[in-house]
Amino acid sequence: MTQRPLLAFTICWVLGSGAACMYSGWQLTLIVTGIAILLVVPFLLGAAGPLFIGCMVASLLVSSGYWEWNDTRNVSRLQSLMQKSTNEDDPIPVSAEGVIVSPVKVDGDRADFVLSVRATNSHTGIKEEVQVQVKLLTEVETQTAVEWKRGDFVQITGELKKPGTARNFDGFDYRQYLRTKEIHWLLKVKGIQNITVRQPDEWKLSHVLRWNDEVRQYLGHRIEQLFSGVHTGYMKGLIIGDRGDLNPDTFAEFSRLGLTHILAISGMHVAVFVGALLFIFSLCRLTRETSLTAVMVFLPFYVLLTGASPSIIRAGIMGMIGLYAARRGLLKDGMHILCAAALLMLLWNPYFLVDVSFQLSFLVTAGLMVFVPKLMPFLSFMPRWLAGTLGVTVAAQLVSFPLTIYYFNQFSLLSVLANLLMVPLISMIVLPMGTVALILSWVWLTGAKWIAGMTEWLNMFTFSVVEWMNGSPVFVTIWPSPGLWWIVSYFIVLYLMLYVWGRKKRLDQALSGAVDETVPLSGEEPPGRSAAHRNDNWGGSGHSVQYRTAEWLRSIGLHRLAGVFEHFGSGTAVAVLIGLFFLLLYNGYHGPIKQGGGSVQFLDVGQGDSILVSTPEGKHILIDAGGTTNFKKEKDAWKVRSRPFEVGASVVVPLLKKRGIHSMDMVMVSHNHQDHFGGLQAVLEEIPVKEIIFNGTLAESEAFEKLLKTAVKQDIPVYQADSGTVYRPDTSTEFLFLNAGIDGREQNEEKDTLPVVKDQNHESLVFELVMNEARFLFTGDADAKAEQRILTEHADRIAERSKIHPLDVLKVGHHGSKTSTTDSWLKVWKPASAVISAGVDNMYGHPHPDVVQRIQRNDSLVYRTDLHGEIQMKISRKGEIDVRTRLTSDD
């Protein structure tokens, strides 16, 4: 490490910044002090001098202090200036002036941009950025909004509102995300009549970015002329880094195979760009020095032109440093160049450290430098070109794996194969061809379209291969988000495993060659060598490493440990490290070991229901999955956004994956209303489901019919619930159905068809859950009539079970509507707690105040997802319930 001081300095800088990001106060002081003490150990062992250690400790302390200083300054002044002391979530009317400092994105009936506020109401001299969201009221307004540009001066009237925070455990925190962009407010505007926009009067530095936006927009239009259909958005993302028009299905297919990095402008694109320019300059017979200087000048413009994401900034900085070093014949260590780029970016903006693109870009680049040489001994039997390609692909997958499962919670077993096949095709053929077609279009449009046509043919081949690889979901594995300790352990064990194993393999090869050269012509072994070499078959070839380690341990006084190493061959070490590596993978895949308890998790899906039940023996049952209700008519088609929010795909599926739900043992559909079953379509498409239970009716819903067809296509058994039946997923858990739709009460004459029932609330599944003696009642949207029928038909059973297990938790029917949860219902069940699943400020006014008062009069504790966010109830082996909520009612 002392041979690469910049690497050690950067690692300490990242450690200090990371510690300050995760901790504060005395915890931060304790952690930084502990790391500083560990840094002194090499000095005490004589492995590093005092100056080196002093620089490393200084890096650690300065970086943590720099983060703290920057983070402390990252506060909003707007609310204090307006002298408001209301609830922070209440909207604040405001009139503001400022300058647009981002591209304007118009999608459906909304326009978004970042506004640098210079004045608000009667206050001037402000400079704070807010995220503006403009609700467009007519299709004509969208045409006006498209004309807005970065740098325009804006006068605006609307409401300031705090960004939403995470309402589910492990959910996306929009407020924290915007805070890393130093944005603390949303400015919501209704209609463009509340906005006055004018172009800037004088030239400013921001005009460069405005010009860049216009060039990107122009290039995008040019690409639209060359490519058609799904190819347009794909090639925009590939050539200029604009993924706004990328087909969501295409992105999802690439994502499952770990190919989305191809669509992110990064080092691959910079390498192609630099290589192409150097080739062109060589044809122009420019000198080497002139060519390198010219490329250095063009590179920043390329970074801007392709969107200036963290990955392309990293590649651009590394490219410029590398080109300068090559021109001057100076620094030739790629790791030092990478560290210099990281330090420059973190000094410019410390929040880059928490950016996913930054993390993946730097980690993979460093990983290629470290692990590709470690992998080459295992690929020595291959041709050099194939070994190099495979080594880079495997190294990239190994290094990116922990962050991939942490952020995206899935990994395809075909990812290595997909990258091995697709990356060369796309980077070496499709990308250059698309770029050539774009450049040629200004000179010879017909020829450009001919090249674009061939590129589209290659794209179709790519899409077909990707779709074929995604054809079998068995190759897509779901992983819970691992902890920091697991990620650190993974890299340590991976490095040691490849290092020791590769060292053993090289020594085995060297020893084998040496033996072959000294074998007597008679074939007899020399005296005294036979036994030694026979003993080297497993561990002997690593003795040089083994003994050097033992000698070093003795030199620092660890004689016993040195003795252990002397008897611990490298072959044994390899076996142990391989076993430890797979043990880590097993632990990461299955998550923490359960201690005989279960849980019931009421997810916050807005106005809808979704409950995840996890049993003590690891079974998972999902009761409904919410759903996004669309009230738009055909004439409002222009309002639909390119990526409309859908609660199943955006909330439920990501949460299930983050919690390591590899498959769903049972899905229960309470009834056929969109806010209960709508999200299940995404669940079936993303997560294996073993069985489905529903109420046996239809409700003239195309979406529900599509859901059933998806289940049939995937060979998922679909059962109709029967009143009075019991479902036992394991020995500690049972479900008892009390209301099961039509079942035995009304039999449909045509047995091959399902009855269509308009009043789905009345036919909601109602069932009890008993887990480790804790008792829950789930009611769907059952109305008062259904409640009364259950009390009549199951009176004896309810009374008998209540004596054994009093009701602990009632899931209140129909989101707290006054049509459910009657006094007689509460009087019989007497729940200790009640959970109401309702959306914040929903249009129905749920829950009704009368229902809440009714429950409270029954001495039941009330939990509400609109106030508390997600509500998790963990059930111990003895049936004790521990409740935690994502939010407090005051949040």
Q: Which of 217, 201, 104, 205 is nearest to 153 (CA)?
A: 201
User: Which residue from 312, 311, 289, 284 is spatially nearest to 299, judged by alpha carbons?
Assistant: 312
Residue in 697, 704, 698 with CA at minimum distance from that of residue 720: 697
Q: Would you say 693 and 719 are in contact if contact means Cβ atoms under 8 Å apart? A: yes
* Residue of 774, 771, 777, 891 lying closest to 828 (CA atoms): 777
627 CB-near residues (< 8 Å, 6+ apart): 605, 608, 647, 648, 673, 674, 675, 676, 677, 678, 679, 680
Tell me the average pLDDT across 758-774. Answer: 93
Strand order of the β-sheet with 692-694 is: 718-720, 692-694, 666-668, 620-623, 611-614, 598-602, 871-875, 881-885
What's the distance, Cα to Cα, between the start and end of the chain in Å? 47
DSSP 636-658: GGGG--SS---HIIIIIHHHHHH
Answer whether residue 677 shows pLDDT above 80: yes
Instruction: For the domain made up of 598-630+643-747+754-885, give the CATH fold.
Output: Metallo-beta-lactamase; Chain A (3.60.15)
Bridge partners for 92 per DSSP: 160
At 554, the pLDDT band (50, 70, 90 cuts) reads low
**Got the DSSP string for 869-884?**
-SEEEEE-TT--EEEE
Residue 332: band (very low, low, confident or very high) from pLDDT cuts 50, 70, 90: low
| Pairwise pLDDT comparison (411 vs 552), residue with the higher score | 411
Structure-block tokens of residue 449: 């379209």
Please, which residues bridge with residue 156 across strands? Answer: 96, 195
Top mean pLDDT of 28-42, 89-103, 319-333, 823-837 is at 823-837
Q: Residue 427: which pLDDT band, with cuts at 50, 70 and 90? A: confident
Q: Do the Cβ atoms of 318 and 339 come closer than 8 Å?
A: no
Crossing angle of the two packed helices 543-555 and 559-566, in degrees rounded to 10: 170
Contact assessment for residue 683 and residue 648, using Cβ atoms and an 8 Å cutoff: yes
Q: For 363-376, what is the mean pLDDT?
A: 91
Residue closest to 606 by CA, chosen among 304, 855, 846: 846
* Domain locations in the chain as residue ranges: 5-73, 78-199, 216-481, 486-515+534-590, 598-630+643-747+754-885
Give the model confidence (pLDDT) of 100-130 as tens digits: 999 999 999 999 999 999 998 877 778 899 9
- Report which of 849, 843, 818, 813 is spatially closest to residue 831, judged by C-alpha positions: 813
- Label residue 430 by pLDDT band (50, 70, 90): very high
| pLDDT of 543 over the 80 cut | no
DSSP lists the bridge partners of residue 410 as: 478
Q: Residues of the chain with pLDDT > 70: what percent?
A: 89
Rounded Cα gap, residues 686 and 666, in angstroms: 15
Q: Is the pLDDT score of 573 beyond 90?
A: no
Q: What DSSP letter does each residue of 586-633 carry, written as one string?
A: HHHHH-SPP-S-EEEEE---SSS--EEEE-TTS-EEEE----------
Q: Which residues contact 512 (CB under 8 A, 6 or more apart)?
A: none
- Given 1.10.30.50, 1.10.3720.10, 3.20.10.10, 2.40.50.140, which CATH number is that of 78-199? 2.40.50.140
Question: Residue 529's pLDDT is what?
Answer: 43
Helices (H), 768-820: 784-793, 795-804
d(C-alpha 375, C-alpha 368), whole Å: 10
Beta bridge partners of 97: 119, 155
